Amino acid sequence: QQQVKQSPQSLIVQKGGISIINCAYENTAFDYFPWYQQFPGKGPALLIAIRPDVSEKKEGRFTISFNKSAKQFSLHIMDSQPGDSATYFCAARGSSGSRLTFGEGTQLTVNP
């Protein structure tokens, strides 16, 4: 049973545009929601994370928006750059758990 659903599967954006990736979760026990960036041949790297007591978190060009009632969260990449081209994964973890549950990933391509 997939507990974190991610969309879209792939996304093409022009340089300078805004990239938006969405995730929805089912388990209300989740209390930590990170986003990871993965380049080919590399392991996932933490980009930004949020806890459900805030509705938005911004770090540089990256923003997480969180809607607890809808059980949804999204990643916004402002002023997207070709170097942002990678696969992005949302994930979730429960307060009593050790495991990260990942979405299926979004392959982002930023055209110059």
Binding site for another protein (CB under 8 A): 4, 6, 34, 36, 41-46, 49, 89, 91, 97-105
- In the complex with another protein, the residue whose CB is nearer, 10 or 28, is 10
Burial of 98 (0-12, 13-18, 19+ CB in 10 A): exposed
- In the complex with another protein, the residue whose CB is nearer, 42 or 58, is 42
CB of 112 to another protein, least distance (A): 25
Contact 6, 103 (CB under 8 A): yes
- In the complex with another protein, the residue whose CB is nearer, 65 or 107, is 107
Q: Quick one: which of 33, 36, 102, 23 has its CA closest to 70?
A: 23
